[in-house]
Structure 1
Amino acid sequence: MNFSTWFETWPLDLQITFLLAPFAIGFSGLLMILVMAYRNLDTILHTFPNSGYVIRQKMLWGDSGLYSRFVLTSSLAAIALFPKGHISRGDLLESELRNLPHFIKHRMVVAWWLCFAGMAWLLLAVGLLKLTSD
């Protein structure tokens, strides 16, 4: 029995939940980043005054409009998720990373993992349904 046939035996509400869940998970991560863009971006930028990566990202994206604040916050969240690469390249000072408030760093990591989990679930679900369809 392939996945598509097995999936079609599920109750309709479970099928809908299975297909909508990745959007809910991913959008909750995006919403967390959006909220951090307005509540915590200034704190994040003040935490990294001498880090080259942060300075370049701020020059590239700016920090005034909705889109620019969102993209800047999400790109800076990559620092919290993968700091070693930035530190080893010299783009980020480890001392400044230690000064980032723990709750902000935790939110950044959780937001990125929610986005990743939603995307992975969606790709897996669509892939399973598409590949196993008759």
Structure 2
Amino acid sequence: MSPSLIDINSWPLTIQLLFLAAPFSLNAIGLAVTGYAAWSSEFEVINRAIRSNAYLEQTKRFWGTTSYRARWMVVCAVCGLLTFPHFHSRIGVVDADELKDFPSRLRRKLVVSSWLILIGSAWLAVAYVIVSH
């Protein structure tokens, strides 16, 4: 077994715990915000705001919008569209004007949620590599 470039065991215990707990915390906060949006009145705003995405409309028709799972899937799809709007409008999967007209406060909330989940997941992957080697 080759020596690790980063030896997490040499770090102070508090730093080790923070390093390993932080990605779970980021993911939990991001998932809680997304979950809240799926089950609150914000879902109706999200549901009405984007109509040009075929996948989103197909998901709504297939799963409906009454179960928590269906609402969660719709919110997550919208989070993806809002987090990378230029990419999605450039490839033509959503109308750029719909993304521009999306309520700004809700957009910011969903984009922050997405980034918390992405950063937390990436951090978790890096932490796994560091700890396992």
Identity level (%):
26
- Does residue 3 (structure 1) correspond to residue 3 (structure 2)? The answer is no
Does the residue aligned with 2:66 lie in a helix, a strand or coil? coil
- In the other structure, the counterpart of 2:83 is 81
Question: Which runs of no fewer than 5 residues in structure 1 stay unpaired?
Answer: none
- CA distance, structure 1, for counterparts of residue 72 and residue 12 of structure 2: 38
- In the other structure, the counterpart of 1:20 is 21
- CA distance, structure 1, for counterparts of residue 131 and residue 106 of structure 2: 38
- CA distance, structure 2, for counterparts of residue 93 and residue 126 of structure 1: 39
Check the 8 A contact 1:53/1:92 in 2, yes or no.
no
Cα root mean square deviation, aligned? 1.9
**Counterpart among 122, 125, 128 of residue 124 in structure 2:** 122
- CA distance, structure 2, for counterparts of residue 95 and residue 127 of structure 1: 41
Runs in 1 of length 4+ with deviation above 4 angstroms?
none
| Most deviating of 44-53 and 17-26 | 44-53
Deviations 1:18-54 (A, max 9, x none): 1111100111111110111122111011112444343
- TM-score normalised by structure 2 residue count: 0.84
Matched positions, count: 129
Name the CA shift for 1:85/1:57 in 2 (closer, same or farther; >3 Å).
Answer: farther
- TM-score normalised by structure 1 residue count: 0.84
